[in-house]
Amino acid sequence: MRVLITGSGGFVGRTLTRHLQESAPEAALFGTQMPGAGDGPDGVTCYEVDLCRPAAVVELIAEVRPDHIYHLAGQAFVPQSFIDPWDTIENNVRGQLNVILACLKADIRPRLLITSSAEIYGEVKTFPTDETTPLMPTSPYSVSKAAQDQLAYQYFVSHDMPTLRIRAFNHIGPGQSDRFVAPAFAMQIARIEAGLQEPVINVGDLTARRDFTDVRDVVRAYSLLMKHGVAGEAYNVASGVAHSIQHLLDMLVSLSSQRIEVRVDPNRLRPSPIPVLQGDASKLRHATGWAPQIPFESSLRDVLEDCRARIRGEHA
């Protein structure tokens, strides 16, 4: 079994790599990352490839000839998509298209797992949200993810490419960039504990509610869907429980022995365009038997410990 993980050096990619090494030790793992990104995960044959360059992707696929592809690479930060919309759309859509076209050119049909996002549903009114919900993207990022989702379906229909469309809700866990909400707060707490920041966290609107799943549970879902998912279908990956950002912050603060003031900054009070995201993963559960195993508080505890370790490493 030859497995290609695009974006193998990222948050989800590294976690997926560790999971596959434990659950499928017989698999030969290959990965991609952007040129100059540094070392890839241990135990993975890693290629520095810009997936937006068709010739480079054709060469990659011809050499690896994967049986399974987990396509994780792309621009994943919603605010960045407003700053440079085309960069997000090009990276996410063109990169995926190049992978598909390279497979067709090599005359192979690997099972191809595409990671879309729950952001494609937009501001829904019915909760929990299942896969029949219309797509109403509200950012350039979610537009790109809706395009990836539909592109995967189109090539399943037109070229018998066995694609799996994954609509993942928010995930958290150790190793995530501090551009995202849980590690952003946890890094501030870790700095406060280390005496590097005054004991104040400035916040904006904390009322948005999100469905968080630990990344270690998320990659387990991906692996199960690669084995048991029906080609062409879309699957939500979600816990089914929505937590407010206020609750997330309160739990992180409670895990610290420091007295920390949470201060509302009026300049940050911008309501979220999507007040609630809460997923229904019944389809995934029925197909694979998957259920999340790591409690929300345990995930937050691990995020905070990871951020403490990062701060120690920066100031060793």
Span 61-70, pLDDT tens digits: 999 999 999 9
Looking from the CA of 206 toward its CB, the CA atoms found within 13 Å total 16
Same domain, yes or no: 178 and 217: no
Residue whose C-alpha is closest to residue 262's, from 205, 202, 178, 304 = 202
Whether residue 203 lies inside any domain: the answer is: yes
Place 294 in a pLDDT band, splitting at 50, 70 and 90: very high
CATH code, domain carrying 48: 3.40.50.720
Whether residue 37 has pLDDT greater than 80: no
pLDDT for the residue 35: 84
Whether residue 287 lies inside any domain: the answer is: no
Same domain, yes or no: 203 and 167: no
Whether residue 184 has pLDDT greater than 90: yes
Q: How far apart are CA 143 and CA 145, in angstroms?
A: 5
Residue the block writes with tokens 């229909």: 157
Same domain, yes or no: 149 and 185: no
Structural domain boundaries enclosing 72? 2-171+212-237
Same domain, yes or no: 63 and 89: yes
Residues 198-227 have a mean pLDDT of 95
CA 83 to chain centre: 20
Q: How far apart are CA 80 and CA 191, in angstroms?
A: 25
Same domain, yes or no: 188 and 82: no
Same domain, yes or no: 146 and 263: no
Supply the mean pLDDT for the chain: 95
pLDDT for the residue 270: 60
pLDDT tens sequence across 91-145: 999 999 999 999 999 999 999 999 999 999 999 988 999 999 999 999 999 999 9
Pairing relation of β-strands 200-203 and 261-264?
parallel
Taking the whole predicted model, whether its pTM rises above 0.85 is answered as yes
pLDDT for the residue 271: 62
**Taking each helix axis from N to C terminus, what angle separates 95-105 and 140-159, rounded to the nearest 10 degrees?**
20
pLDDT for the residue 45: 96
Whether residue 285 lies inside any domain: the answer is: no
pLDDT for the residue 94: 98
- Domain total of the chain: 2
Q: How far apart are CA 72 and CA 29, in angstroms?
A: 14
Which residues, other chains included, contact 125 with Cβ-Cβ below 8 Å and sequence gap of 6+?
none
Place 273 in a pLDDT band, splitting at 50, 70 and 90: confident
- Where do runs of H (alpha helix) occur along 163-259? 181-193, 215-228, 245-254
Same domain, yes or no: 260 and 306: yes
Whether residue 247 has pLDDT greater than 80: yes
Q: How far apart are CA 243 and CA 25, in angstroms?
A: 36
Q: Is 280 helix (H, G, I), strand (E, B) or coil?
A: coil
Whether residue 284 lies inside any domain: the answer is: no
Same domain, yes or no: 166 and 188: no
92-97 long-range CB contacts below 8 Å, 24 or more apart? 92/141, 92/144, 92/145, 92/147, 92/148, 93/144, 93/147, 93/148, 93/151, 94/51, 94/52, 95/6, 95/51, 95/52, 95/71, 96/51, 96/71, 96/148, 96/151, 96/152, 97/151
pLDDT for the residue 44: 96
Q: Which of 119-128, 175-184, 230-239 has the highest mean pLDDT?
A: 230-239
pLDDT tens sequence across 190-210: 999 999 999 999 888 899 999
